Amino acid sequence: MSETAGEYLARCHCGAICARYHTMLPTPGWSVRACKCGFCRAHASLTVSDASGSLEFLAVRPELLQRYRFGSGVTEFLICRACGVYLGASMQGQVRRFGVLNVRALRPIPTDLPESVPMDYDLESAFEKRHRRETRWTPLTAESL
């Protein structure tokens, strides 16, 4: 049986940072990506986004939110200082902010997700990277971290 489209909740292991992801895409239609960069491989992350959806990151315990930047420094990776879970990432676009969610932080993780697709973005220019994210990542709500 297929999971229903709608709202999905995610959190780090200890619950200090959370996310609310809204998509009308049924879970079997999600584009699950396995980025091949060192950070994503080290965290075994699988990401998902929906350009027509919405995403909100929340800090239940703000003092435990670690924002990490690397490479071009444009993207903030949201990590819990207490349990070490990578929840997702955010980026300021030209007009609004966008985010991507680590599927492994969903509670519960949908049972009917498609296989992840390996992605390698190493050859993208900074412009190409920003453009891809602005067209593919999920818009963040105004209240999001």
pLDDT band at residue 1 using 50, 70 and 90 as cut-offs: very low
- Asked if residue 144 is part of any domain, the answer here is no
- Whether 1 maps to a domain, the answer reads no
Q: Does 122 fall in a domain?
A: yes
pLDDT computed for residue 4 by the predictor: 56
* Continuous H helices in 51-121: none
CATH at 75:
2.170.150.70
Does the residue 145 lie in any domain?
A: no
Q: Tell me what the pLDDT averaged over the chain comes to.
A: 92
pLDDT in tens, 29-67: 999 999 998 898 999 999 999 999 999 999 999 999 999
- Residue 113's pLDDT band, with cuts at 50, 70 and 90, is very high
Please report, for the chain, how many H helices and E strands are present, in that order: 2, 11
Structural domain span for residue 29: 6-139
132 found inside a domain: yes
Q: What percent of the chain is predicted at pLDDT more than 90?
A: 76
103-118 in b/e burial notation, b at 16+ Cβ within 10 A?
A: bebbeeebeebeebee
Closest among 65, 55, 57 to 133, alpha carbons compared: 55
Counted domains in the chain: 1
- Enter the DSSP assignment of 134: H
Question: For the chain, first and last CA: distance in Å?
Answer: 34
Cβ atoms of 105 and 69 closer than 8 Å:
no
- Rounded distance between C-alpha atoms, residue 71 and residue 126, angstroms: 10
Residue 112 in any domain: the answer is yes
- Asked whether the beta carbons of 73 and 12 are under 8 A apart, the reply is no
Q: What is the pLDDT of residue 74?
A: 84
The answer to whether residue 134 is domain-embedded is yes
